């Protein structure tokens, strides 16, 4: 069943790669004028978590699903594939990825060098290098066929990708995992805005603590509000302008710790923001507080490995809290579901992406 699902995914992705419109590119040779219509008939189609259609048809035109259901009229010239006794599932979407984004590297600084108080980024940007709302993943996207193939094998058809660097990280893009042109793979830009408490590749001395990161993020909200009310009469700040423009899309915060979720939630309430939190897998430990936030979560599947406690000394340094988390972490999603907290899985923290199937199914 999974093999068929992946086959359907790859058929659709191949259609995207081969038949998507490329009107902005010159054509060399005879243009293919075929209608590029495909109908998968007599299949059991799982349309979503609550909708299963027996004996249904999936009609695809080029790279677009035209119709799903029963008694669908099939246009002349359509390639028909009978899938009686088979099932079709929608592909997964990876909600938290850096796919196609350039690797960020922190510039080396001389040991005990002079402190850096100001940004070294040239241009009319924010005074702090960790505030990067102007980063647009679409502008720097380059496809990677090997990574795309790895994700397709897990059942993913698309990813939401952003540059994972800084406290204010800019916007993400929705990208199809195809081997075609980058222009065809890029489905939508500015899908969501991203934040964290990590300064990333910034070489500035400030912030150098969690408290400083919280203060800098709060100050950025205040600066952006002042900038909006000033109506750019005093300066044009590319970063603050982008920050304000990004407020109209979903806001995603990489917390990576149950307590950081609660810290970020205080900022959210102060400035009237609703974050989606990318968690750590320990949310079950503060389930009531997280539920009270009303936030949705993106949770990883990188469960802690079993501790080697055969040696008495090694066993003595493993805390009870660590042992309990090892025991309960795989049930984190179950606790969230029972508390009616919406969440999505991500493969982003897995060292071996192939573990995603097994980890997700075990939940």
pTM: 0.85
* Residue 197 near residue 167, CB atoms below 8 Å: yes
pLDDT in tens, the chain (363 residues): 444 444 444 444 444 444 444 567 777 777 766 778 999 999 999 988 889 999 999 999 887 889 999 999 999 889 999 999 999 988 999 999 999 999 887 776 666 678 888 899 999 999 999 999 999 999 999 999 999 999 999 999 999 999 999 999 999 999 999 988 999 899 999 999 999 999 999 999 999 999 999 999 999 999 999 999 987 678 899 999 999 999 999 999 999 899 999 999 999 999 999 999 999 999 999 999 999 999 999 999 989 989 888 888 888 899 999 999 999 999 999 999 999 999 999 999 888 777 786 666 555
Task: Give just the sign of the alpha carbon dihedral 200, 203, 207, 209.
Answer: positive
Sign of the Cα torsion 181, 185, 186, 192 reads negative
The dihedral over CA atoms of 146, 151, 154, 155, expressed in degrees to the nearest 10, equals -120
- Over the Cα atoms of the chain, what is R_g? 24
Query: Rounded CA gap, 226 and 240, in Å?
Result: 10
């Amino acid at each position: 069943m999974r093999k068929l699902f992946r086959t359907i995914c790859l058929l659709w992705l191949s259609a995207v790669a081969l038949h998507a419109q490329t009107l902005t590119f010159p054509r060399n040779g005879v243009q293919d004028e075929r209608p590029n219509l495909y109908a998968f008939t007599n299949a059991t189609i799982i349309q979503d978590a609550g909708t299963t259609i027996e004996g249904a048809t999936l009609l695809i035109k080029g790279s677009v699903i035209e119709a799903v259901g029963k008694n669908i009229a099939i246009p002349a010239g359509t390639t028909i594939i009978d899938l009686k006794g088979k099932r079709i599932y929608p592909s997964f979407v990876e909600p938290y990825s850096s796919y196609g984004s350039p690797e960020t590297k922190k510039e080396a600084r001389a040991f005990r060098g002079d402190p850096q108080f100001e940004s070294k980024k040239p241009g009319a940007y924010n005074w702090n290098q960790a505030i990067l709302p102007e980063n647009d993943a679409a502008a720097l996207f380059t496809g990677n066929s090997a990574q795309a193939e790895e994700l397709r094998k897990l059942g993913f058809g698309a990813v939401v990708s952003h540059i994972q660097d800084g406290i204010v990280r800019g916007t993400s893009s929705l990208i199809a995992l195809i081997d075609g042109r980058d222009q065809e793979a890029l489905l939508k830009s500015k899908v969501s805005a991203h934040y964290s408490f990590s300064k990333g590749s910034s070489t500035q001395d400030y912030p150098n603590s969690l408290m400083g990161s919280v203060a800098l993020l709060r100050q950025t909200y205040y600066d952006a509000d002042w900038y909006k009310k000033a109506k750019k009469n005093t300066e044009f700040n590319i970063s603050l302008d982008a920050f304000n423009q990004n407020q109209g899309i979903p806001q995603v915060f990489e917390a990576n710790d149950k307590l950081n979720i609660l810290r970020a939630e205080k900022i959210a309430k102060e400035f009237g923001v609703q974050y989606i939190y990318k968690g750590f897998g320990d949310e079950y430990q503060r389930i009531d507080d997280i539920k009270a936030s009303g936030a949705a979560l993106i949770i990883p599947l990188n469960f802690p490995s079993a501790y080697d406690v055969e040696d008495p000394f090694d066993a003595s340094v493993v805390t009870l809290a660590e042992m309990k988390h090892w025991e309960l972490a795989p049930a984190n999603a179950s606790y969230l579901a029972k508390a009616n907290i919406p969440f999505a899985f991500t493969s982003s923290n897995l060292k071996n992406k192939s573990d995603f199937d097994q980890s997700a199914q075990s939940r």
